[in-house]
Structure 1
Amino acid sequence: MTEPALIHLIYCSTAAHEMSQAELLNLLQQSRRRNEQLKLTGMLLYGGGVFMQLLEGIPPAVDMVYQKISRDPRHHSLILLEREPISTRSFAGWSMGFHHLEAEAGQQLAGAFSLHEAKAGLEDKACHPSPALDILRQFARTQR
């Protein structure tokens, strides 16, 4: 069986500690450099001590980066929500889109949600993971 040309991978995780703006900026700069080299695109949301990230690109690159991410001590309790073939990128223009959802800012978004509550709901294996992609896409549309 042939490997798909492109995949996306979505996961949630819990920060080891509440991250400062400086730590988040450093993480974002590292991610963008790496993703540009590997031709990966995606989106990262952070709020309430929870990360939600989507990576998209060729399978070997996405899988390699996810393995590295899974060993990163800055977070724990990773939940792989989805790893699926895709025909086109959802975040083609972003080596790594990012937003820090502060509590008050998160409540101002249309269809306000809490990443902490979203992660708790997605931990149920019976839950279909597509709401995670919907959350990321909806957020990206409001930021463009």
Structure 2
Amino acid sequence: MLNFVMYVSDVCAPMAQDNEQMVQGLIDIERTAKQRNRHLNITGVLLVDGGHFIQLLEGYREDLDTLLASISRDARHTNVSILMDEPISKRAFGEWNMDIFTLDVKPELKSEDLHRFRDCYLANEKPNALEVANWVRRLIKHPEIRFGEVSA
């Protein structure tokens, strides 16, 4: 059965404090993740927002567990916290095995959907995976927030 996992984490201090290190770190994350996720048949996206990562992943349980174990050891971020982990009937991000979107580039795009998402969590009204995927898909439709393509 397919599963959907969403986690948040804090970007490590060197990347958060130095734009050049952030860009190099994201290039490395994208290159590595595209190859590994293709091998594991995992799809999803990584959002970068104000020194935080928000990652949405889709795949089969065993493959996700393998990937999450690796993610939890990655020194490029800290405080990994899984917000959602639930079964899904189909992939919402099937065309992406790992693309990165930098929301800081155009903050006006994210405010309404992310605030609504945050407010749902604060009110303890947890959206399901499909609702989260739909919100994120609306955010990432803007080409100006897509991080540079890296061929794998």
- What range is the shorter-chain TM-score in? 0.7 to 0.9
From the superposition, tell whether residues 50 and 120 of structure 1 become closer, same or farther in structure 2 (CA, over 3 Å): farther
Aligned partners of 1:96, 1:36: CA distance in 2, in Å?
Answer: 9
Cα deviation digits, residues 64-113 of structure 1 (max 9, x gap): 101111121111111211111111100001111211222x5122x1x526
Could you tell me which residue of structure 1 aligns to residue 38 of structure 2?
36
Q: Which amino acid aligns with 1:30?
A: T
**Greater fraction of residues in helix:** 2
From the superposition, tell whether residues 135 and 114 of structure 1 become closer, same or farther in structure 2 (CA, over 3 Å): closer
Could you tell me which residue of structure 2 aligns to residue 23 of structure 1?
25
Aligned partners of 1:63, 1:121: CA distance in 2, in Å?
Answer: 29
Could you tell me which residue of structure 2 aligns to residue 128 of structure 1?
126
Give the aligned CA root-mean-square deviation in angstroms. 2.8
| Structure 2 unaligned residues grouped into runs of 5+ | 147-152
Q: Which amino acid aligns with 2:124?
A: A
From the superposition, tell whether residues 133 and 81 of structure 1 become closer, same or farther in structure 2 (CA, over 3 Å): farther
Contact 1:46 1:101 (C-alpha < 8 Å) held by counterparts: yes
Cα deviation digits, residues 12-67 of structure 1 (max 9, x gap): 11111215212111111111110011111101000210000011111100111011
SS in 1 for 2:37: helix
What TM-score do you get using the length of structure 1 for normalisation?
A: 0.78
Q: Which amino acid aligns with 1:7?
A: N
Equivalent residues in 2 for 1:1-144, closer than 5 Å: 5-17=1-13, 18=16, 19-102=21-104, 104-107=105-108, 109=109, 112=111, 126=124, 128-130=126-128, 132-143=132-143
Aligned partners of 2:121, 2:76: CA distance in 1, in Å?
Answer: 20
- Structure 1 position 140, deviation (Å): 3.3
Q: Segments of 4+ in structure 1 off by > 2 A? A: 111-115, 117-127, 129-135, 140-144
Contact 2:6 2:57 (C-alpha < 8 Å) held by counterparts: yes
Aligned residues: 136
What TM-score do you get using the length of structure 2 for normalisation?
A: 0.75
SS in 2 for 1:14: strand
| Structure 1 unaligned residues grouped into runs of 5+ | none
SS in 2 for 1:65: helix
Aligned partners of 1:64, 1:87: CA distance in 2, in Å?
Answer: 21
SS in 2 for 1:20: helix
